[in-house]
A and B are shown apart, each in its own frame.
Chain A
Amino acid sequence: MTETLLHIDHLAVEIAGHRALHDVVLDVPFGGSVGIVGETGSGKSLTCRAALGLLGSIGGSVVAGEATFDGMDLLTLPERKWREIRRYSIGFVPQTSLVSLDPVMRVGGQMAEAVRIVDGRAEAKERCRELLEAVEMPRAEQVLSSYPHELSGGMRQRVMIALALVGRPKLLVADEATTALDVTIQRAILELLDRLRRELDMALVLVTHDLSVVEASCETMTVMYAGATVERGPAAEICARPIHPYSRALIAAQPSMAGATTRLAALSGAPPELGEIPDGCSFAPRCPFATDVCRGGQLSLTPVAPGREVSCRRLDEVLQ
Chain B
Amino acid sequence: MSSLLETRDVTVRYRQDGPAAVAGASARIDAGEALGIVGESGSGKSTFAKVLAGVLAPSGGEVQVKGRRWQEVKRRDPIRRTVQMIFQDPYGALNPWMSARETVAEVFRFWERQSRAQAVEQAEALLAEMGLSKGAMARRPGELSGGQCQRVGIARALACSPDVLIADEPTSALDVSVQAQILNILVGLRETRGLAIVLISHDLAVVRYVSENALVMYAGQVVERGPTADLLGSPWHPYTKILMDAIPGGTGDLKPVRNEIGDGHPCCFAARCPRLQADCQSLSEEAGPREGDRVAHCMHPLPERSEQIEQRAQ
By a beta-carbon cutoff of 8 Å, the part of chain A in contact with chain B is 39-40, 138, 153, 182-184, 186-188, 190-191, 209-213, 215-217, 249-250, 252-257, 259-260, 263-268, 270
Contact = CB atoms under 8 A, between A and B. Distances in A.
Interface stretch (B14-22, B23-31, B54-62, B172-180): B172-180
A11 B184 CA distance: 37
B247 to A, nearest CB: 6
A257 B180 contact: no
B296 interface: no
B50 interface: no
Contacts of A257: 204-205, 208, 232, 244, 247
Interface string B220-254: 00000000110010000000001111111110100
Given A187-B252, A213-B248, A255 B209 contact: yes
B248 A190 contact: yes
A175 B51 CA distance: 36
28 contacts: A153-B41, A182-B41, A182-B202, A183-B204, A184-B255, A188-B255, A210-B176, A212-B247, A215-B248, A215-B249, A216-B248, A217-B248, A250-B177, A252-B180, A253-B176, A253-B180, A254-B176, A255-B183, A255-B203, A255-B206, A256-B208, A257-B204, A257-B208, A259-B229, A263-B184, A263-B187, A265-B180, A266-B181
Interface of B: 40-41, 145, 147, 175-181, 183-184, 187, 202-206, 208-209, 228-229, 232, 242-250, 252, 255-256, 258
Contacts of B252: 187, 191
* Residue in A182, A188, A217 with the greatest tally of chain B CB atoms within 10 Å: A182
Chain A interface mostly helix, strand, loop or mixed?
loop
Contacts of B204: 183, 257
Chain B interface mostly helix, strand, loop or mixed?
helix
Given A263-B184, A264-B184, A270-B145, A186 B246 contact: yes
A209 B175 contact: yes
A226 to B, nearest CB: 13
A186 B179 contact: no
Contacts of B248: 186-187, 190, 210, 212-213, 215-217
A181 to B, nearest CB: 9
A263 to B, nearest CB: 5
A265 B183 CA distance: 11
Nearest to B181: A266
A183 B269 CA distance: 16
B40 A183 contact: yes
A260 B175 CA distance: 20
B134 to A, nearest CB: 16
A201 B181 CA distance: 41
B40 A39 contact: no
Contacts of B41: 153, 182
* Residue in B177, B179, B180 with the greatest tally of chain A CB atoms within 10 Å: B177
B45 to A, nearest CB: 12
Contact of A183 (B147, B229, B246, B258): B246
A29 to B, nearest CB: 22
A266 B180 contact: yes
B246 A209 contact: no
Given A215-B249, A257-B232, A266-B181, A184 B242 contact: yes
A259 B228 contact: yes
B270 to A, nearest CB: 16
A255 B208 contact: yes
Contacts of B147: 270
A254 B247 CA distance: 13
Nearest to B207: A255
Contacts of A138: 258
A39 B249 contact: no
B108 to A, nearest CB: 27
A210 B175 CA distance: 9
* Residue in A209, A264, A268 with the greatest tally of chain B CB atoms within 10 Å: A264
A215 B177 CA distance: 17
A211 B187 contact: no
A15 B206 CA distance: 36
A40 B147 CA distance: 12
Nearest to B187: A263
B249 A212 contact: yes
Nearest to B38: A183
A42 to B, nearest CB: 9
Contact of A256 (B176, B205, B245): B205
